[in-house]
Amino acid sequence: MSKPIFVNGRFLTQETTGIQRFSYEMCKALIAGGTEVIILAPKKIRNEYTLNCRIIRFGIFSGILWEQVDLPVFLRTHKNPLLINFGSPGPVFYTNRIVTVHDLSFYVKPSWYKKSYRLYYRLVTPVALHLSKKVITVSEFSKNEILRLTGITREKIAIIHNAVSGALQRMPAKETAEKGKYILSVASLDPRKNLAGLVAAYKMAGIEKEFRLVLAGKSDPIFNIKITEEILAHSTGYVTDDELSSLYQNAHFFVYPSLYEGFGLPPLEAMSLGCPVILSDIPVFREIFGDAAHYVDPMDPGSICKGILHVLGDEQYRKELIRRGHERAKLYSWVGSASKLASIISTIV
């Protein structure tokens, strides 16, 4: 690819959760594959992101204002280059861009989000999708949701999957005194993650003396959720990659009873690190994870409880889930995803 590509680097100002992880890993994989990447970012970025490329920091704003005011001004003064947006729609009326949509949960269940957030994204997203050169999404399920809810053409959408960060996989296994003594879930404190249902199922299972429940993830002001004392009692808050890798490797198993997802990166991370997985029986998880997980009804705490007790009570089945999970995780790689994106970019450029 002869010309450099410009990436919206607003994600560099945010803590690493799923969308930021996708943005960061795609940039790293593109760079490693020989693509010249230039990242455009606000002046203040976080120290945990290390990228071997040019990062241009500018502007007087941050957040959405930087994206809608400072960034388009910069692009106009630099001959309107192709802009890749991995984590947000980007400047709303800028047409020479690729935009990524991870999911459309703010369309499907607006009550999960604060009013200002859902109004902004419900207004900006359809405009961004129709004006963009290409739309990236992370699963066939999300592609169909975009088609159903926005009306853009099927040919305009490309599926580029998530994968597991090498940073997590390179962490040496650190066995702790708690190895095998807790059940893990990694999720933001977000209504669609169904943490209340998980806590109810855990209590119903009657295993509190033998296994702790650990909820790793932070709260976010964009969500409408009542964080109960019961949820907080199990919550670790935000964890670093080192801590996260250790949590996966030492958990007895991983439970993710989410109500709606575009992909579901934490279960893939758990599988890659040898942690058996219990998942919601929803279409996107069947698509991404196949037979590598044990499925439960997320709307029924009794079903989640039954799944927990099933995996706890059958060690052979638990080992089989670990084997299947390892094999499933191998299907997804950042190298493959970046290669697919580089091909798409070359056709546009």
Joined together, the tokens standing for residue 10 give 């607003």
d(CA 303, CA 296): 6
Buried residues in 162-182 as b, exposed as e (16+ CB within 10 A): bbbbebbeebeeeeeeeeeeb
pLDDT tens digits, one per residue of 276-286: 999 999 999 99
pLDDT digits (tens, 9 = 90+) for 74-86: 999 999 999 999 9
In this predicted structure, the answer to whether residue 10 has a pLDDT above a threshold of 90 is yes
Section 2-25 average pLDDT: 94
Q: For 59, left (φ over 0), alpha (ψ -120 to 50), or beta? A: left
Q: Would you place residue 200 in the very low, low, confident or very high pLDDT band (cuts 50, 70, 90)?
A: very high
Cα diameter, the chain? 64
- Three-state DSSP string of 241-290: HHHHHHHHHHCCEEEECCCCCCCCHHHHHHHHCCCCEEEECCHHHHHHHC
- Give the model's confidence band at 175: pLDDT under 50 very low, under 70 low, under 90 confident, else very high: confident
* Domain count along the chain: 2
DSSP, collapsed to helix, strand or coil, labels residue 2 as: coil
* Whether residue 187 sits in one domain with residue 148: no
**Distance in angstroms (rounded) separating the CA atoms of residues 177 and 215:** 18
CATH (domain of 323): 3.40.50.2000
Token pair for 227:
């964080």
Indicate whether 322 and 339 sit together in one domain. Answer: no
Is residue 156 domain-shared with residue 182, that is, in the same domain?
Answer: no
- pLDDT tens profile 118-145: 999 999 999 999 999 999 999 999 999 9
Residues 114 and 209 both lie in one domain: no
Q: Which of 245, 246, 230, 248 is nearest to 183 (CA)?
A: 248
Share of the chain above pLDDT 70, in %: 99
Residues 146 and 35 placed together within one structural domain of the fold: yes
What mean pLDDT do residues 10-20 have?
95
Q: Which two tokens stand for residue 327?
A: 């094999």
Q: How many CA atoms lie within 13 A of 337 on its CB side?
A: 25
Question: 147 and 284, same structural domain?
Answer: no
* pLDDT band at residue 116 using 50, 70 and 90 as cut-offs: very high
Mean pLDDT of 342-347: 95
Q: 204-250 pLDDT, tens per residue?
A: 999 999 999 999 999 889 999 889 999 999 999 999 999 999 999 99
Q: To which residue do tokens 């994106």 refer?
A: 341
Both tokens of residue 87? Answer: 């984590």
Do 211 and 279 lie in one domain? The reply is yes
Model confidence pLDDT, tens digit, residues 318-331: 999 999 999 999 99
pLDDT for position 2: 65
Nearest C-alpha neighbor of 317 from the set 277, 260, 280: 277
Please report the pLDDT score of residue 216 as a whole number: 97
Whether 336 has a pLDDT exceeding 60, the answer reads: yes
Tokens of 214: 């650990």
pLDDT for 57-66, tens place per residue?
999 999 999 9
CA distance 233 to 28: 36
108 and 127 co-located in one domain: yes
Give 268: exposed, middle or buried? Use CB within 10 Å, 0-12, 13-18, 19+. buried
Same domain as 257, residue 276? yes
| Residues pairing with 40 in the sheet | 8, 56
What mean pLDDT do residues 194-205 have?
98
Do 209 and 118 share a structural domain?
no
266 and 145 housed in the same domain: no
* Mean pLDDT computed over 31-54: 96
- Rounded mean pLDDT, 294-303: 98
The pLDDT of residue 1 is above 70: no
Q: Are 179 and 297 part of one and the same domain? A: yes
Report pLDDT for 259: 98
Structural domain harbouring 207 = 171-329
Cα–Cα distance for residue pair 6/300, rounded to 1 Å: 46
Mean pLDDT over the full length of the chain: 95
